[in-house]
Structure 1
């Protein structure tokens, strides 16, 4: 029997988005010319970049975070003598050593002070510069990228999961598949769906893989499916598509909102992120060498821990980059410091650069878009500044 709805929809129909829920995730795709691949992972819930990439060389860190572990003495993995990577990302250490993993330590969107997950994620995915732009801009920056690429085929663009991916919303055609919390198809229902898909060359394979993803645990509870089984299935599905005609994929990983019990909350989320990246690498095989992965979050968290063993909504955060096309094994960008006078609003990590600039330079180097198109159409109002040269 069919225990919940299964439906296909266009990205013009905006579904519910639970901004920081640990279960929900989405995936979307688009075809693009050439061999370069781009994967954008939205980390919903505001990842604490100061815990993921720990600036243990800054003497103020231990004063601000007395119980949250930091640095190699507490199990973190030293990267360069100043930053250490959270121990739950140890599976990604070989990528760092191979030059296929990098990060930016102090970035954010232009979103400031209100610290709403929903608004922050909307601005990140819309790629706008102000709240006014956000209200007027209904499409996402990956969709606007598609609109700027002549000859691009986007008929395979779609999303899988419960939360809407605004990043791909817009006039460029895209579709999505969204199960509910449980997906259980009996033989009769499966035969019905197979008949529906059979004569549609676009969705025949897509529908089959979507059902396969559901069988792997998409939409099930963490207890039923395991802590990262759903993310591995999404990443495997993305890799399969990227090995075929797809060149741009985006999906989300939730569960980063760590107001309390941060070691447990963040640890689970990092396990899922590491599994997603490694599943992409394994699934892509030789195509990993032409792949760039950008993992982005809506904002960072406070530099000081709170009384509940966690951190609250902040401003500056971190961005992770991976892939065989990335110039990794290094920290990209500048460090603002944690002294009181260096903080934003006296409480948050000071952003040193607009996170959109790194995405824009990746798009320029991957797909050859002009700077004018990126600064005016894809990311309106952006000043890209100098090229950080994140690609090899």
Structure 2
């Protein structure tokens, strides 16, 4: 038998990046009345917002980071004299110039101090504002939004990907669809399954049959196209949004950058840029009625660590794009990076609940009243003032 201790030991070898692994990516869709569209992208693994949207004009930044977030003198694109765009997002510069891209720094959920990817993602998708008994928080804020919206289509929502996203779990009905996924097994994995299930006829026979099916698949169906899953999901999302779907959510993993951030983050930011531009291209005229919100479970430390990376932090950055966005600007306030301005002496100080931006988007896109948003969609949330995120 595969003991619980062996399972935990094996999963520990994967590291904390398991929460950002591509196999945990999925997408969800919902139909709703009206012509406005909302896309929520969950960036699993805690994107470093200070590197993506670089506050190079803050005098404390250079002392905190020796190789990261160094501004226009090191390849980033100046945006407003204070913030610069990471080179990995440079393809999105035309959106900024057209007023279709904005950033909100210093945002977070109410999750604090424990810095677990899994718990942080659960709170982000549950949207309840509390980290007490996270396992019991099974429904998500997009599902609660659907329950508050009249005139939904009969097929309210369905999930796309390897695993269902909590953000759309709940009482509103959902169906599932799975895109092509890698189904290859290494010889070592086959031997491990054979040994584990050797004395259990039920699992032994079932696993043997599964391995035969995988071996019989054509190369295209068995392996898919590596590195193209985000574009496949973006194209499918755009196709749905061009039809009856009005709300879509999917995830992009791989944002955990404890070491070698200068090598890994540009690739991930490039994937995000490609995803957004694919949505724009495939949506056509419907892009003008679309708001895309890319959010992550928490930010990363303001100080670069000894492995040329960053560790789990608190305040992060929200990216907002779309033809319906009032962009070309920073939204919200900047807390500063001086020692006395940091959260717990190590993190960017969060100034606003990221749920407030999502709530105001729902208010603008679908006319949901503030009492419903603060009471049932995001229980306990104070939305604060309107950031006027959409046109």
TM over 0.5: yes
Q: How many Å apart are 1:23 and its aligned residue?
A: 5.0
Question: What is residue 311 of structure 1 aligned with on the other side?
Answer: 310
Q: Deviations over 1:71-119 (max 9, x none)?
A: 0000001110000010111110000000000010110000000000000
Return the alpha-carbon distance in structure 2 between the equivalents of residues 231 and 217 of structure 1. Answer: 17
Which 4+ runs in 1 deviate beyond 6 A?
Answer: 215-219
Structure 2 residue aligned with 1:198: none
Kept after mapping to 1: 8 A contact 2:29/2:159: yes
Find the aligned partners of 2:225 and 2:138 in 1 and give their Cα distance: 35
Provide the aligned C-alpha RMSD in A.
Answer: 2.1
**Secondary structure of 1:387's match?**
coil
Change (3 A) 1:135 1:383: farther
8 Å CA contact 1:24–1:219 kept in 2: the answer is: no
CA displacement at 1:179 relative to structure 2: 6.2
Q: What does residue 342 of structure 2 align with? A: 343
Deviations 1:256-298 (A, max 9, x none): 0000010121111111100110000000000000000000000
Find the aligned partners of 1:319 and 1:230 in 2 and give their Cα distance.
Answer: 22
Which residue of the partner structure matches residue 190 of structure 1?
none
Residue 97 (structure 2) pairs with residue 100 (structure 1): no
1:123 corresponds to 2:146:
no
Q: Give 3-state SS (helix, strand or coil) of 1:336's partner.
A: coil
Alignment of 1:158-197 (within 5 A): 158-178=158-178, 181-182=181-182
Q: CA deviation at 1:20?
A: 1.3
Q: Residue in 2 aligned with 1:187?
A: none
Report what 1:67 is aligned to.
67
Q: Are the aligned partners of 1:139 and 1:170 in contact in 2 as well (CA < 8 Å)?
A: yes
Match of 2:268? 269
Distance in 1 (CA, whole Å) between partners of 2:291 and 2:387 is 14
Q: How does 1:352-371 map to 2 (within 5 A)?
A: 352-371=351-370
- Listed as ranges, the gaps of 5+ residues in structure 1 are 1-16, 185-214
Q: TM-score, normalised by structure 2?
A: 0.84
**Is the 1:30–1:154 contact (alpha carbons within 8 Å) kept by the matching residues of 2?**
no
- Taking a change above 3 Å as real, the CA distance of residues 217 and 319 of structure 1, as seen in their structure-2 partners, is farther
Larger helix share, 1 or 2: 2
The runs of 5 or more residues in structure 2 that have no matched partner are 1-16, 185-217
The secondary structure found in structure 2 opposite 1:293 is strand
Q: How does 1:234-313 map to 2 (within 5 A)?
A: 234-313=233-312
Distance change >3 Å, CA 231–CA 372, structure 1 → 2: same
1:313-328 superposed matches below 5 A: 313-328=312-327
Distance 2:364 2:219 in 1: 35
Q: Distance in 1 between matches of 2:342 and 2:371?
A: 32
Answer with 1 or 2: which has the greater Rg: 2
- Post-superposition offset of 1:216: 12
